[in-house]
Amino acid sequence: MTERVNILGVKVDAVTMSQAVERVANLIDAGKPSIVATANAEMLLRATHDAELKDILNAASLVVPDGAGTVWAARHLGKHMPERVAGFDLVQELMKISPVKGWRFFLFGSAPTIADKAKSKAETLYPGIKIVGTRNGYFTADDEAEIISQIKSSRPDILLAALGVPKQEKWLAKFRDELNVPVSIGVGGTFDVMAGVVKRAPLWMQRAKLEWLFRAMLQPSRAGRLVALPRFVLKVHQQKLSG
């Protein structure tokens, strides 16, 4: 088992991408409903004042370090964190090997037509992939029974939910046992990127750990979230001093 690093009260797995993929494969083989979370700085900061989210993350079967901020925090605390495991990249790695594994995906979330476009993109990139259903993320509580029925009847091995944080994590946790999907992952804006609606940062910005800045430049509505980064750094430093 890999080490789990406590960052602001959330235990994050110190895994590489290949280890994360292997862990997901093992969860699918086990067949019990489980949740995989992708923890970036914003999610970890939110969990400091959202007890429900914190409990969900700490009960998850795997919490990957999604974001340079998470990796920095672990290392600042003196802990080993080998690399960033971005949620988008994890999904691509799982999709890439799924034709050989025979895994079945269900894409749930984002605006109307986006999941369908992401499905088409995946089928182009990964010939033989099995995407057994899609459903947009616009719904009310009255629609949930129908959505659950649709997902269950499709019998996916991996449910990707793009509802935004923390809605996706709370929805997956609430219906985890009823859905009975081996692996459910909250994937944020993954479908938007796959569908070509939102661009991903150039590789040099990803490598320079500036993907957060690129997103803020591209989507001014996200700029307000940048103020969370100094708060995150401060809280992590306070954790180190109190440790």
User: In the prediction, which pLDDT does 70 show?
Assistant: 96
Number of domains, the chain: 1
Computed over every residue of the chain, the mean pLDDT equals 92
Confidence of residue 19 (pLDDT cuts 50, 70, 90): very high
- Measure the CA–CA gap between 27 and 66, rounded to whole angstroms: 19
DSSP H/E element including 100: helix 87-101
Q: 58, 72, 62: which is closest to 20 by C-alpha?
A: 62
Going by pLDDT thresholds of 50, 70 and 90, the confidence category of residue 55 is: very high
Give the SS3 label for residue 158: strand
Q: Is the bond into 166 cis (omega within 30 degrees of 0)? A: yes
Q: Of 107-116, 163-172, 219-228, where does mean pLDDT reach its minimum?
A: 219-228
Phi, psi at 96, each rounded to 5°: -60, -40
Question: What pLDDT digit, counting tens, does each position of 193-223 carry?
Answer: 999 987 666 777 667 666 666 566 566 655 5
Mean per-residue pLDDT, 118-146: 97
DSSP 160-182: EEES-TTHHHHHHHHTHHHHT-S
Between 204 and 141, the more confident residue is 141
pTM for the complete prediction?
0.92
Please give the pLDDT value at position 228. Answer: 76
Q: Which residue has the higher pLDDT, 129 or 221?
A: 129
d(CA 135, CA 111): 9
| Domain carrying residue 31 | 4-242
Q: Is the pLDDT of residue 139 over 80?
A: yes
pLDDT digits (tens, 9 = 90+) for 66-81: 988 999 999 999 999 9
pLDDT tens, position by position, 159-195: 999 999 999 999 999 999 999 999 999 999 999 999 9
Work out the end-to-end distance of the chain between its first and last CA atoms, rounded to an integer number of angstroms.
24
Q: Which helix (H) or strand (E) holds 28?
A: helix 17-30
Q: Which of 43, 36, 3, 58 is nearest to 181 (CA)?
A: 36
Average pLDDT over residues 112-125: 97
pLDDT for residue 229:
80
23-32 average pLDDT score? 98
Name the residue with tokens 């944020």.
188
Orientation angle between helical segments 114-125 and 87-101, nearest 10 degrees: 60
Across 100-127, average pLDDT: 97
Question: Is the separation of the CB atoms in 184 and 36 below 8 Å?
Answer: yes
